[in-house]
């Protein structure tokens, strides 16, 4: 198949940041996606429904003329989140979920939850109101190897959590291991997962062999090839528990090419084409639409989009760099490389 028309996709996990960054991130995402779940790990984090509404307005100010774009907001879970905030999320038209970062797990997660058992009284409300809990699924103890942190989270945090709250609606974000994929497969329909383009297209050799490649560094970190293979299998299987979430996470070039480089891959400008590349490599391009445009909306209980986009097999070269901050560019994921697919219509 050399051409595919699909319902407009949505991105169920992206970092847009704030201020100057929005000039770059909003048009890049809005070119292809309708709904985007906007991560709340700003400095300071987005903790209440009213803060989320104000952030949404700052985002909307950067949507290009004539483009339909519907940012979906998420609150940042802290040790101090009050149970009553959950009913406010449920009643809100703009906020769809709450995101739990274990404190210290990743970028701007210092205000995250220090011990999940401390917030079980809030999680009880999430289960009651069927508000999705979005999870960064890694333990943070110093003594746990970085490549084992997702698996340990499944065993030590998620298993007891789901035993306590069996009907909790939950998305295990940006899964990176066969262990996580199998865990999600074993649960009921209330448990789903997002998968990023970098975890489908790359593995830790791309990050580390022949020199450290900071633009492939993200969290959870890329794993070995056997995990990549399982992620490709589940993403392209047509199982509605797995859907698109780029985790596009912009950091300026100077913050990535640094002795202490930031975690995050900036995939937003070419995201749907990168996913098309991965699905096509598996001979499963016909499964892209479910993953990109149906399953996430269905899980969140939102209507599917009605517009379409068309992708064709037409090579394009990803930019080497893109404008970002006044004196600091951004390097997109897979910069300077040629991919096989291009959006020809629908995307604006």
Site for ligand DOR in 135-174 (CB under 6 A): 136
For residue 67, the tally of other CB atoms under 10 A from its CB is 13
Q: Which of 10, 11, 179, 247 is catalytic?
A: 247
Structure tokens at 179: 């262990």
Structure tokens at 3: 């051409």
Task: Please report how close the Cβ of residue 194 comes to ligand DOR at its closest, in angstroms.
Answer: 12
One-character DSSP codes across 85-103: HHHHHHH-SSEEEEEEPBT
145 is catalytic: no
**Which residues in the chain belong to E strands, given as ranges?**
3-7, 11-14, 35-38, 70-76, 95-100, 133-135, 170-172, 191-195, 242-244, 308-317, 322-325, 328-330, 338-345
**247 interacts with Zn ion by CB under 5 A:** yes
**107 interacts with ligand DOR by CB under 6 A:** yes
Residue 276 marked as a ligand binder: no
Residue 219 contact, options Zn ion, ligand DOR, none, Cβ 5-8 Å cut-off depending on partner type: ligand DOR
Residue nearer to ligand DOR on the CB measure, 106 or 230: 106
| Beta-sheet strand order (sheet of 3-7) | 3-7, 308-317, 338-345
Residue 264 contact, options Zn ion, ligand DOR, none, Cβ 5-8 Å cut-off depending on partner type: ligand DOR
Residue 197 contact, options Zn ion, ligand DOR, none, Cβ 5-8 Å cut-off depending on partner type: none
Task: Please report how close the Cβ of residue 309 comes to ligand DOR at its closest, in angstroms.
Answer: 26
Q: Number of C-alpha atoms within 13 angstroms, CB side, residue 310?
A: 7
Interatomic CA distance for residues 136 and 100, integer angstroms: 6
**246 interacts with ligand DOR by CB under 6 A:** no
Catalytic residue set: 247
Binding site for ligand DOR (CB under 6 A): 15, 41, 106-107, 136, 218-219, 247, 249, 263-264
Binding site for Zn ion (CB under 5 A): 247
């Amino acid at each position: 198949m050399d051409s595919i028309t699909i319902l407009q996709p949505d991105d169920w996990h992206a970092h847009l940041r704030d201020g100057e960054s929005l000039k770059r991130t909003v048009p890049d995402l809005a070119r292809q996606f309708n709904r985007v779940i906007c991560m709340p790990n700003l400095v300071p984090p987005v903790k209440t429904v009213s803060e989320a509404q104000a952030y949404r307005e700052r985002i909307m100010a950067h949507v290009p003329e004539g483009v339909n774009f519907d940012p979906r907001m998420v609150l940042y879970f802290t040790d101090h989140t009050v149970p009553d905030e959950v009913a406010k999320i449920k009643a809100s038209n703009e906020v769809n979920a709450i995101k739990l970062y274990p404190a210290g797990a990743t970028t701007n997660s210092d205000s995250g939850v220090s011990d999940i058992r401390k917030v079980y009284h809030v999680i009880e409300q999430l289960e009651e109101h069927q508000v999705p809990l979005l999870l960064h699924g890694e333990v943070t103890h110093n003594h746990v190897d970085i490549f084992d942190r997702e698996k340990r989270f499944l065993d030590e945090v998620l298993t007891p959590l789901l035993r306590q709250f069996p009907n909790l609606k939950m998305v295990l974000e940006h899964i990176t291991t066969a262990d996580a994929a199998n865990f999600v497969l074993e649960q009921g329909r209330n448990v789903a997962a997002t998968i990023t383009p970098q975890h489908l297209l790359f593995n830790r050799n791309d990050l580390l062999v022949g020199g450290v490649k900071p633009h492939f560094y993200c969290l959870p970190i890329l794993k070995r090839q056997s995990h990549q293979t399982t992620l490709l299998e589940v993403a392209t299987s047509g199982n509605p528990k797995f859907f698109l979430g780029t985790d596009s996470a912009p950091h300026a070039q100077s913050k990535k090419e640094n002795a202490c480089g930031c975690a995050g891959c900036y995939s937003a400008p070419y995201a749907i084409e990168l996913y098309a590349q991965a699905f096509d490599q598996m001979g499963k391009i016909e499964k892209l639409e479910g993953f990109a445009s149906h399953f996430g909306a269905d899980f969140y209980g939102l209507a599917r989009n009605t517009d379409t986009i068309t992708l064709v097999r037409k090579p394009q070269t990803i930019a080497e760099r893109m404008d970002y901050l006044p004196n600091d560019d951004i390097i997109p994921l897979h910069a300077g490389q040629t991919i096989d697919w291009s959006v020809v219509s629908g995307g604006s």
